[in-house]
Amino acid sequence: MTLEIIIFVGAILFGVMLFWRESKNNKLYRFVNKLTNSKKLQMKPEDTKGFLFQQAFLSRLAYIIILYLLIFGALAILVPFNMFTFQLFIAAIVGTTIGTYVASALFVANEKIEDKQDFIEDVLEKGKEILDDIKPDKKIEVAKPLEKPEAIEKEKSGRERLQDKGLM
């Protein structure tokens, strides 16, 4: 069971690596296409399709099975004892298929982010402009508390006012 898990995780990484490699360069697929198809049916130079890259599920699965049949066949001939079982074969196929779809999802997400990069930069610039508009340019001065002027005399009492008027 442990060997199956190790092969499964390794196959996922192998599938990611295969998909990434084929997305950058599809020379082997072009070569096979040139051998198997007539001149009219051959790939156009701008076509990026590969064994795994831009393929439907069934054709992708068929190519992965063929690849592992070749690998397991060669290892069965080279290694004198039989350690390759059906479970390891299936774990490798399923892991590689999952790895190709994980890589495909990463590529699609990366392309979407790159496509939206200009939009994101525009939104950030507009946000900075809005913040600059909201931010006050001048410092607001806080009013100081009123001080009692020393020149103001002490208020006279009612008695003193009456005396000043001569009523008392």
CB 7 within 8 Å of CB 91: yes
* Residue 135: inside a domain: no
Nearest to 94 by CA among 70, 71, 60, 56: 60
- pLDDT at residue 99 in the model: 92
* Residue 72: inside a domain: yes
Q: Which domain holds residue 8?
A: 2-106
- pLDDT at residue 140 in the model: 63
**Number of domains present in the structure of the chain:** 1
* Residue 112: inside a domain: no
- pLDDT at residue 94 in the model: 93
- pLDDT at residue 137 in the model: 65
pTM of the shown model: 0.57
Per DSSP (E only), the strands in 82-142 are none
CB 110 within 8 Å of CB 28: no
Name residues whose C-beta falls within 8 Å of residue 104's C-beta, 6 or more positions apart in sequence. Answer: 19
CB 53 within 8 Å of CB 27: no
How many other C-beta atoms can be found within 10 angstroms of the C-beta atom of residue 95? 22
* Residue 141: inside a domain: no
CB 23 within 8 Å of CB 50: yes
* Residue 40: inside a domain: yes
Name residues whose C-beta falls within 8 Å of residue 92's C-beta, 6 or more positions apart in sequence. Answer: 7, 8, 11, 68
* Residue 19: inside a domain: yes
* Residue 27: inside a domain: yes
pLDDT per residue, tens digit, the chain (168 aa), is: 788 899 899 999 998 888 888 877 777 777 777 777 777 777 776 776 777 777 888 888 888 899 899 988 888 888 877 777 788 889 999 999 999 888 888 887 777 777 777 777 777 888 777 777 777 666 666 677 766 655 555 678 888 888 888 877
* Residue 123: inside a domain: no
Q: How remote is the C-alpha of 90 from its chain's centroid?
A: 30
Q: Which residue has the tokens 């040139």?
A: 34
